[in-house]
């Protein structure tokens, strides 16, 4: 590679630091205060690019004074032949020359295509080791994904591990062969083994190079390069979860082999660039954490505002910096949660003294429930104790009241899934936990229950029914809820969903918002936690959930305002997603340009 091309590669790596460090991908829903569920995609791609450039001969310039790789390969072949002659290693199977079609790219001057089996002994065994010698044992969890092939070890007696395990010594190169360890780039150069000897997991391919004939770290870079991993993944055999890279692929896949002096220069350059990546990663994570802390502090000022004037002042401070504050999915999700919290505390819209007070609304609801009981449409349930002042978590606006789910809804369980429920002649679709998400219901792929006519009447869902996930032990699942809107007729619900039927239909939207807010989620977690540390709601626990109840007209204004603000948040997310897609494509394009 000429110096001009080398300078171009350096430019792509070092002059686009802002791109490499700014491109992130979200791996899964991130909790409050956590930046660890995002992937620093740009830095990951930069690391992969460094490895790829290294084994393609594009990372450092070639030196015409280096001994060509062809001379080194001849010397290795002669030394191996001598070891065969002395009976120290087995004679390797002669392989055909590597064809032009097998060569994935053009090599620099002085390089040669080779195979690992040409350079090393594959699958060696340790002989002449005394049974009582202490050695190192290396299980798969102690082999790291580090580009330097780091590993840990445990001390064992040789007699305890010499059978049934893979053998190796200091300087051997190992590759994890089983999924997902292979795809995750688990590979090692064994060093500092006890007495220089070790054995370990059987899920390794091992190569033992001849001493002083190559730089093991250069070979490790090849084993960790994206081009090797991609082809290796396509060659895996076996069933799902037990797929393995064949030994023949490990031993005989075409390997780009550099002059020994250049191998050392490449390894040194990779070390230098990986340190740069480490620094970028630390700076980016620190910046993300600082950003998240700032967002948390500012949003908390809204929730902790003591009056309308202070809230307006704090909101003005935040709204002037939307473009710099809400630049991640996590921060936008946190904004959504703050909006919901302000809503259920009565701080999102102004109160209207002309609204019918919540106390009158609750009296009307009580009368409606009493009438339904009198008509036999719902069963009378055991009354709950009166709500004490200590149970009220914040000061309510003047015309609001604290009530409970039991006071506003009729709460009941669902149908237990048993073999007798298999569809026969009188079966109907039912909702399971997976169908109820936070705020919406998925009616795709509904299964069916066999029920009697009486059971159909008892468990049939009606529009405005609120469905609450009991949790099934999971803190994250607990209390997830949505409103049934009558999407299909004669739909039932499983017993892991708790049905709350409102005495007044217009109440459901408000209560759904309360239960999906930080206040509601916290209340349900408090009720649901068990002595074993698991989380589970029951009909009885759901009945006792406390609810702030505003006047009905104010409920409608709050729900409308929340919908309006959530639409803005969703648009922020769309814009963010489009920007992230552009950044991802830009990072990928830089990689393509470099290769």
| Beta strand 134-138 pairing with 197-200 | parallel
- Residue 427 structure tokens: 């079966």
259 near 69, Cβ under 8 Å? yes
Mean pLDDT of the chain: 87
Strands 409-412 and 427-431, how do they pair?
unpaired
Whether 177 has a pLDDT exceeding 70, the answer reads: yes
Alpha-carbon distance 339 to 318, whole Å?
Answer: 13
Q: Is the pTM of this model over 0.75?
A: no
Asked if the bond preceding 468 is cis, omega within 30° of 0, the reply is no
Dump pLDDT digits (tens) for 188-208.
999 999 999 999 999 999 999
DSSP letter string, 454-506? HHHHHH---TT-EEEE--TB-TTTTT-EEE----SSS-EEBTTEEEEEESSGG
Contacts for 112 with CB less than 8 Å, ≥ 6 apart: 68, 69, 70, 73, 257
Q: In what order do the strands lie in the sheet with 481-483?
A: 409-412, 497-502, 466-469, 481-483
Phi, psi torsion values for 175, nearest 5 degrees: -130, 130
pLDDT of residue 459: 92
pLDDT band at residue 377 under the 50/70/90 scheme: confident
CA atoms within 13 A on the CB side of 281: 16
Instruction: Give me Rg for the CA atoms of the chain.
Output: 33
Of 162, 158, 170, 263, the C-alpha closest to 220 is 263
Which range is least confidently modeled, 70-74, 262-266, 447-451, 574-578?
574-578
pLDDT value for 140: 96
| pLDDT at position 32 over 50 | no
Question: What CA–CA distances, in Å, run from 52 to 9, 55, 56, 531, 586?
Answer: 12, 6, 6, 53, 18
| Residue 27 pLDDT level (bands cut at 50, 70, 90) | low
* Domain 358-550 in this protein, CATH class: alpha beta
Higher-pLDDT residue of 198, 11:
198
pLDDT at 31: 40
Give me the pLDDT at residue 511, please.
94
| Residues 178, 182, 186: CA angle, nearest 5 degrees | 115
Write phi, then psi, for 199 (nearest 5 degrees).
-150, 160
The terminus-to-terminus CA distance of the chain in angstroms comes to 12
Give CA–CA dist 205/187, Å, rounded: 9
**b/e burial code for range 12-36 (CB count within 10 A of at least 16 → b):** bbeebbebbbbbbebeeebeeeebe
**Could you report the per-residue pLDDT of 42-65, keeping only the tens digit for each?**
888 888 889 999 999 988 999 999
Beta bridge partners of residue 199, listed in sequence order: 137, 167
Residue 29: predicted pLDDT = 45
Sorted by where each begins, the domain ranges of the chain are 1-38+276-352+553-595, 358-550
CA distance 525 to 443: 27
Window from 46-60, 133-147, 195-209, 471-485 with minimum mean pLDDT: 471-485
Across the beta sheet with 154-157, the strand order is 154-157, 134-138, 197-200, 166-169
**259 near 72, Cβ under 8 Å?**
yes
Q: How many CA atoms lie within 13 A of 285 on its CB side?
A: 14
Mean pLDDT of 25-54: 72
Distance of CA 589 to the CA centre of its chain: 25
**pLDDT recorded at residue 237:** 93
Looking at the chain, how many residues does it have?
Answer: 595
pLDDT tier at 368 (50, 70, 90 boundaries)? confident
Q: Which two tokens stand for residue 403?
A: 């009530």
* Mean pLDDT to the nearest integer, 487-504: 92
Instruction: Report yes or no: 516 and 340 within 8 Å, Cβ to Cβ.
Output: yes
Percent of the chain with pLDDT over 90: 53
- Count other C-beta atoms under 10 Å from residue 299's C-beta: 22
| Res 465 pLDDT > 90 | yes
Say yes or no to pLDDT of 149 above 70: yes
Split at pLDDT 50, 70, 90, the class of 475 is: confident
Within 13 Å and on the Cβ side, how many CA atoms surround 86?
A: 7
Q: Does 216 score more than 50 pLDDT?
A: yes
pLDDT for the residue numbered 531: 65
User: Which has more pLDDT, 500 or 12?
Assistant: 500
Q: Which two tokens stand for residue 250?
A: 């490990």
| Helix, strand, or coil (residue 316) | helix
pLDDT at res. 253: 95
Q: Which of 202, 206, 209, 211 has its CA nearest to residue 137?
A: 202
Least-confidence region, from 3-7, 285-289, 529-533: 3-7
Task: Evaluate if residue 591 carries a pLDDT over 90.
Answer: no
pLDDT band at 494 (very low <50, low <70, confident <90, very high): very high
354: which residues sit within 8 A by CB, 6+ positions away? none
Cβ 322 vs Cβ 499: under 8 Å: no
The model's pLDDT over 505-541, given as tens digits with 9 standing for 90+, comes to 999 999 999 999 998 888 888 888 776 777 888 899 9
From the number of C-beta atoms within 10 Å of its C-beta (0-12, 13-18, 19+), residue 215 rates as buried
Q: Exposed, middle or buried: residue 504 (CB in 10 Å: 0-12, 13-18, 19+)? A: middle
Determine contact, residues 399/357, Cβ cutoff 8 Å: yes
Q: Rounded to whole angstroms, how far apart are CA atoms 595 and 590?
A: 9
Compute the average pLDDT of residues 330-341.
90
Structure letter (DSSP) for residue 178:
B
């Amino acid at each position: 590679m000429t110096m001009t091309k080398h300078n171009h590669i350096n430019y792509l790596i070092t002059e686009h630091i802002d791109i490499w460090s700014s491109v992130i991908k979200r791996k899964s829903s991130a909790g409050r205060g956590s930046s660890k569920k995002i992937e620093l995609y740009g830095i990951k791609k930069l690391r992969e690019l460094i490895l790829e450039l290294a084994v393609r001969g594009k990372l450092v310039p070639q030196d015409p004074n280096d001994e060509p790789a062809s001379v080194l390969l001849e010397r290795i072949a002669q030394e191996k032949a001598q070891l065969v002659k002395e009976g120290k290693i087995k004679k390797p199977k002669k392989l055909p020359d590597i064809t032009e079609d097998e060569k994935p790219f053009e090599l620099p001057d002085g390089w040669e295509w080779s195979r690992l089996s040409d350079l090393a002994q594959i699958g060696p065994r340790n002989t002449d080791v005394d049974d009582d010698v202490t050695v190192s044992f290396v299980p798969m969890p102690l082999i790291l994904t580090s580009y330097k092939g780091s590993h840990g070890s445990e001390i064992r007696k040789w007699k305890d591990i010499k059978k049934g395990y893979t053998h190796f010594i200091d300087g051997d190169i190992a590759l994890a062969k089983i999924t997902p360890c292979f795809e995750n780039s688990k590979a090692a150069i064994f060093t500092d083994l006890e007495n220089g000897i070790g054995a370990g997991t059987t899920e390794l391919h091992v190569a033992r190079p001849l001493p002083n004939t190559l730089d093991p770290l250069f070979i490790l870079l090849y084993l960790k390069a994206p081009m090797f991993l991609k082809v290796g993944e396509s060659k895996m055999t076996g069933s799902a979860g037990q797929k393995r890279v064949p030994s023949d692929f490990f031993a005989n896949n075409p390997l780009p082999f550099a002059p020994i002096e250049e191998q050392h220069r490449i390894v040194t350059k990779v070390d230098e660039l990986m340190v740069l990546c480490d620094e970028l990663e630390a700076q980016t994570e620190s910046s993300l954490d600082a950003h998240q802390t700032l967002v948390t502090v500012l949003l908390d000022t809204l929730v902790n505002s003591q009056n309308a004037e202070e809230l307006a002042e704090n909101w003005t401070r935040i709204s002037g910096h939307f473009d710099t504050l809400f630049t991640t999915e996590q921060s936008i999700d946190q904004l959504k949660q703050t909006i919901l919290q302000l809503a259920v505390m009565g701080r999102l819209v102004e109160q209207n003294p002309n609204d019918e007070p919540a106390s009158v609304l609750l009296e009307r609801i009580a009368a409606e429930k009493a009438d339904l009981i009198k008509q036999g449409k719902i069963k009378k349930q055991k009354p709950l104790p009166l709500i004490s002042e200590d149970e009220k978590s914040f000061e309510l606006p003047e015309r609001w009241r604290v009530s409970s789910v039991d006071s506003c809804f009729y709460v009941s369980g669902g149908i237990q899934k048993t073999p007798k429920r298999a569809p026969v002649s009188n079966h109907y679709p039912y909702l399971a936990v997976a169908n109820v998400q936070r705020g919406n219901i998925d009616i795709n792929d509904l299964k069916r229950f066999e029920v009697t006519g009486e059971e159909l009447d008892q468990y049939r869902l009606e529009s405005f029914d609120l469905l609450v996930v009991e949790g099934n032990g999971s803190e994250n699942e607990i209390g997830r809820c949505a409103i049934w809107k009558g999407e299909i007729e004669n739909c039932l619900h499983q017993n892991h969903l708790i049905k709350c039927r409102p005495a007044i239909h217009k109440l459901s939207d408000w209560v759904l918002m309360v239960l999906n807010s930080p206040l509601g989620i916290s209340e349900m977690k408090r009720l649901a936690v068990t002595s074993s540390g698991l989380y589970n709601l029951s009909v009885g626990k759901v009945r006792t959930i406390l609810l702030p109840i505003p006047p009905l007209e104010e409920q409608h204004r709050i729900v409308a305002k929340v919908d309006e603000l959530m639409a803005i948040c969703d648009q922020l997310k769309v814009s963010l997603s489009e920007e992230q897609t552009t950044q991802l494509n830009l990072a990928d394009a830089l990689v393509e340009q470099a290769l």
